[in-house]
Amino acid sequence: MEAKIILEYSDAKIADAIAKAVSPDNFTTPSGLFIKTVKKDKRVLTEVKACGKLLTFIATINDLLFCVSTAEKTICTVTKAQLE
């Protein structure tokens, strides 16, 4: 199973921060699971490959998107606080 997830942002700095927030997944994956996230311009590109259970594959993508969402909310909160 394979998935390619492309997230596009309005600013390259935001894309860089998001990619860095989820990049530890590039190194710590169980056997049979591959995740790689990179930043390219204003995009965050993630490739997920899994050999095995569909539920593991889906859970991995769900976890990745949850981490991305958390990073986005954090950036939004910090940016808003700096403007006040």
Q: pLDDT, tens digit, for every residue of 44-78?
A: 999 999 998 899 899 989 999 999 999 999 998 98
Q: Return the structure tokens found at 65.
A: 């998107």
24-32 contacts, C-beta under 8 A, 24 or more apart? 25/64, 25/67
pLDDT (average), residues 21-40: 82
List the chain domain ranges. Answer: 2-83
Instruction: Examine the pLDDT at 81 and tell me if it is beyond 90.
Output: no
Quick: pLDDT tens for 12-26. Answer: 999 999 999 988 756
Q: Return the structure tokens found at 59.
A: 């859970």
Fold exhibited by the domain 2-83: TATA-Binding Protein (3.30.310)
pLDDT of res. 25: 56
Name the amino acid, one letter, at 64: L
Instruction: Examine the pLDDT at 32 and tell me if it is beyond 80.
Output: yes
Q: Report the alpha-carbon distance of residue 78 to residue 28 in Å, rounded.
A: 28
